[in-house]
Structure 1
Amino acid sequence: MPARSLALLLLLLHSVHALAAPAPQVGFQYRHMPDGTEVGIWYPATGHPTHQHLGIYEQDVVTDALPVGHDLPLVVISHGHGGAFSGHLDTAVALANAGFVVASLTHPGDNWRDESRATHVEDRPKALSRLITYMLSTWSSHTIIDPARIGAFGFSSGGFTVLAAAGGKPDFSRVAAHCSAHPEYYDCQLVRQHPGPLPIWTGHRDGRIKAIVVAAPALGYTFGREGLSSVTIPVQLWRADDDHVLPAPLYADEVRADLTRLPEFHDVPEAGHFDFLAPCAAPLPICQSAAGFDRAAFHQVFDKDVVRFFSRVLH
Structure 2
Amino acid sequence: MRRLSASSSPFFFLLLMLCCGWARASMGLAELPAAPGDGPVTVFYPSADAARLIKRARFTLDVAAQGAPAPGNGRLVVVSHGSGGAPWVHADIARSLVEAGFVVAMPEHKADNYKDDSNPGPDSWTIRPAEVSRAIDAVAQDPRFASLLKLDKVGMYGMSAGGHTALSLAGGRWSPAAFTRHCEANLVDDFQSCVGLITRLTGGPLDGIKKWAALLVIRHRFGDDATPREHTDPRIAAIVAGVPSSADFDMASLANPRVPLGLITAGQDRWLVPRFHSDRVLAACLPRCELIADMPTGGHGALLSPPPPGLSGLIGDMLNDTPGFDRPNVLQDVNAKTTAFFRTHLLP
TM-score, L = length of structure 2: 0.79
CA deviation vs aligned residue, 1:211-238 (integer Å, no higher than 9, x gap): 00110000x2322332225622111101
CA deviation vs aligned residue, 1:92-115 (integer Å, no higher than 9, x gap): 111111100100112111112222
Check the 8 A contact 1:96/1:102 in 2, yes or no: yes
Question: 2: distance between equivalents of 1:72 and 1:249?
Answer: 38
Check the 8 A contact 1:154/1:160 in 2, yes or no: yes
Residue in structure 2 matching 1:208, options 235, 250, 253 = 235
- AA aligned to 2:309 is A
Aligned match of 2:337 = 305
Aligned match of 1:150 = 154
Identity %: 28
Residue in structure 2 matching 1:173, options 174, 177, 182 = 177
Residue in structure 2 matching 1:232, options 240, 249, 258 = 258
Is 1:196 the counterpart of 2:221 in the alignment?
Answer: yes
Is 1:314 the counterpart of 2:330 in the alignment?
Answer: no
- AA aligned to 1:197 is F
- AA aligned to 2:103 is V
Pick closer, same or farther for the CA change 1:126–1:171 going to 2, 3 Å. Answer: same
- Cα RMSD of the aligned pairs, angstroms, is 2.5
Check the 8 A contact 2:175/2:229 in 1, yes or no: no
Question: 2: distance between equivalents of 1:85 and 1:225?
Answer: 29
Report SS of the residue matched to 1:111.
coil
Superposed, 1:102-141 pairs within 5 Å as 102-119=104-121, 120=123, 121-138=125-142, 140-141=144-145
Check the 8 A contact 2:237/2:259 in 1, yes or no: yes
TM-score, L = length of structure 1: 0.87
Residue in structure 1 matching 2:294, options 267, 281, 287 = 267
Deviation at 1:13, TM superposition (A): 5.2
Question: 1: distance between equivalents of 2:256 and 2:137?
Answer: 22
Gaps of 5+ in 2: 18-23, 197-213
The runs of 4+ residues in structure 1 deviating greater than 3 Å are: 12-18, 20-23, 190-195, 198-202
Check the 8 A contact 1:225/1:260 in 2, yes or no: no
More moved, 221-230 vs 298-307: 221-230
Gaps of 5+ in 1: 1-11
CA deviation vs aligned residue, 1:152-209 (integer Å, no higher than 9, x gap): 0000000010111232111433223321232242221147667513564442111111
- AA aligned to 2:305 is A
Aligned match of 2:273 = 247
Aligned match of 2:44 = 42
Aligned match of 1:9 = none
Check the 8 A contact 2:45/2:102 in 1, yes or no: yes
Query: How many residue pairs align between the two structures?
Result: 302
Question: 2: distance between equivalents of 1:280 and 1:115?
Answer: 18
Aligned match of 2:84 = 82
Question: 2: distance between equivalents of 1:309 and 1:186?
Answer: 31
Question: 2: distance between equivalents of 1:123 and 1:294?
Answer: 35
Report SS of the residue matched to 2:281.
helix
Question: 1: distance between equivalents of 2:25 and 2:278?
Answer: 36
Deviation at 1:15, TM superposition (A): 5.3
Question: 2: distance between equivalents of 1:84 and 1:201?
Answer: 28
Pick closer, same or farther for the CA change 1:222–1:96 going to 2, 3 Å. Answer: same
Superposed, 1:267-286 pairs within 5 Å as 267-280=294-307, 282-284=309-311, 285=316
Report SS of the residue matched to 1:173.
helix
Residue in structure 1 matching 2:193, options 187, 190, 206 = 187
